[in-house]
Amino acid sequence: EDKVVQSPLSLVVHEGDTVTLNCSYEVTNFRSLLWYKQEKKAPTFLFMLTSSGIEKKSGRLSSILDKKELFSILNITATQTGDSAVYLCAPANFGNEKLTFGTGTRLTIIP
């Protein structure tokens, strides 16, 4: 059975801090890993990672995948209150149109 574990489950930091969110996974026929940000409604797409060691970056957010150790991290630098959200990771596998989502990390940024 596919498994995804995100840590920490929740995190409270001050504005300006840097945070690192973790996602470890066990899936058969791994293809890619996706990160989503969810505020009050639907998740919005952040990154798709398919190759180990190649950092993807978007503004203050960056993410990297380690396919050998089966984990990914999402970094947010110089956090802002608008970064407060639940961050979800989801590995996808070949031949099975199904994403397995982690339970998410709830990030709260205090002004």
Partner 1 sequence: DVKVTQSSRYLVKRTGEKVFLECVQDMDHENMFWYRQDPGLGLRLIYFSYDVKMKEKGDIPEGYSVSREKKERFSLILESASTNQTSMYLCASMKGALGGNTIYFGEGSWLTVV
| Chain contacts with partner 1 (rule: CB under 8 A) | 31-32, 34, 41-45, 48, 50, 88, 90, 92-94, 96-99, 101-104
Which of 80/103 has CB closer to partner 1?
A: 103
Which of 80/94 has CB closer to partner 1?
A: 94
- Residue with token string 């639940």: 86
Strand 105-110 and strand 10-14: the pairing is parallel
Task: Output the six-digit token pair for 63.
Answer: 């993410």
Handedness of CA 102, 71, 58, 19 (dihedral sign): positive
Task: Output the six-digit token pair for 16.
Answer: 């300006």
Q: How far is the CB of 73 from partner 1 (least distance, A)?
A: 19
Q: How far is the CB of 57 from partner 1 (least distance, A)?
A: 17
